[in-house]
Amino acid sequence: MQKISISIKLIIVAIIISSNAVAQKMESYTYKMPVNIFEGGGKVSVKNFTNNGTEVASFGSDIAESILKALKNEGIGKVSDVKLYNPWLTTKLYEIVETDADFVISGDYKFTSASTDSYEEKWIAETSETVAKKLPICYYNYTASSNAVLEGKLTITKKDGKSLGSISINNNKSKSQTLTMQKPSIPGVASFYKEMSNEAITKCALAFSPTLVVEKYKFENIKSKNKELKGDINDMEKQIKNLLKSGEINAAGKKYLEIAAKEETEETNINIGICYEIIGNFTKAKEYYLKAADKSSINRINDMIAIRDQLSKLGIKIIENEL
């Protein structure tokens, strides 16, 4: 198992363009790689976790099912109103099998809990003007307590049984309250388990799967220095705006290429690079960002290319389409 130590973002863009005359805004996806990578990719199986205790027997199958669901999901983090145009982007990195796997995910756990109620007598000594001796007065302090512990370990092994590492599960919660002359009402063990199991399942389910994260993006307004071309370029930008609003990204990119043929500017090169970035052609995107000499875009596309290459090593087929 290989841990990714560099922080890189893969931006896969979906268009939501504003209708203003300012720079055209949109939303995009950044791509967050998981902490745990099965080097070289391959077949993965997930086994039910073993219960080492007597409580919550369903947790072992629940956590295995959630990990499987995440591993099979091709668009973790994708939202309905943001379209994905990159043909090779997926959050499903491995082939899922029941037997003969290259990598096996399994684990064990134990859940323990306790609830107690108790009360304690308290005495107050008081004096009275009419009574010479102290009068004993008694009241009660009621205490209610609940506590629960969910501990265990997710284990990753290779086909030959060699261990590749593990992820610890260690959640504990408790609540205690004392009231005078009334019994406290505190959360029960069942509510603790629900919260603790959700935390453990989320942690383990996303340990092996990347995530799409929505992020805003924008095109640059083209600043033409040729007075004779300004009118034509403005008209073409209006056409591009309509194309982007309707999701015709390839057509919009071709229009930018037409503009670049008339007059090459930094903004045009950046916008062409963005169009290539949208459709997943990072090689071409870098070419145009270099033409624009835009440092931030170059740094970003280098990060994207690093992730693209990582996905390729995991067996994802990379298709860099032309506009």
Q: pLDDT value at position 104?
A: 97
Domain co-membership, 299 together with 229: yes
Residue 318, burial from CB neighbour count under 10 angstroms (0-12, 13-18, 19+) = middle
d(CA 303, CA 117): 57
What sign does the CA torsion over 234, 17, 31, 83 have?
negative
What's the confidence (pLDDT) of residue 56? 92
CA-to-CA distance for 119 and 13, rounded, in angstroms?
Answer: 62
**CA separation for the pair 37, 33 (Å, rounded):** 9
Q: What is the pLDDT of residue 15?
A: 45
Helix locations, 4-126, DSSP H: 59-72
Give pLDDT, residue 188: 77
Domain membership flag for residue 225: yes
CATH number of residue 226's parent domain: 1.25.40
Residue 225: per-residue pLDDT: 84
Residue 137 in domain: yes
Say yes or no: 124 and 182 in one domain: yes
Residue 89 lies in a domain: no
My answer on whether 223 and 269 are in the same domain is yes
Domain annotation covers residue 235: yes
Report whether 134 contacts 93 (CB < 8 A).
Answer: no
Q: Does residue 321 form part of some domain? A: no
Count each helix (H run) and each strand (E run) in the chain, helices first: 7, 11
Of 116, 152, 294, the C-alpha closest to 220 is 294
Are the beta carbons of 123 and 140 closer than 8 angstroms?
no
pLDDT at residue 26, as a whole number: 73
CA separation for the pair 320, 284 (Å, rounded): 9
Clarify whether residues 265 and 181 are in a common domain.
no
Question: Which stretches of the chain score pLDDT less than 70?
Answer: 1-23, 123-136
- Residues 241, 275 share a domain: yes
Q: What is the pLDDT of residue 129?
A: 54
What six digits make up the tokens of 155?
């284990």
Q: What is the pTM of this model?
A: 0.77
282-292 vs 266-279: helix axis angle to the nearest 10?
A: 170
What type of residue is 54? T
Assess if residue 197 is contained within a domain: no
Tell me the residue length of the chain: 323
* Same domain? 172 vs 221: no
User: How far is CA 295 from each of CA 32, 59, 142, 265, rounded to the nearest angstrom?
Assistant: 22, 49, 66, 15
**Both 126 and 161 in a single domain?**
yes
Q: What domain range includes position 130?
A: 110-187
Place of tokens 């001796």: 133
Q: Report the C-alpha gap between 273 and 259 in whole angstroms.
A: 14
For residue 102, tell me if it sits in a domain: no
Query: Are 178 and 224 part of one and the same domain?
Result: no
The C-alpha torsion from 68 through 71 and 72 to 78, rounded to 10°, is 120
> Scanning the structure block, which residue is given the tokens 């071309």?
229
User: Amino acid identity of 205?
Assistant: A
Q: How far apart are CA 221 and CA 18, in angstroms?
A: 13
| Segment 107-129, tens digit of pLDDT | 999 999 888 888 887 766 544 45
Q: How many domains does the chain have?
A: 2
* SS3 assignment, position 79: coil
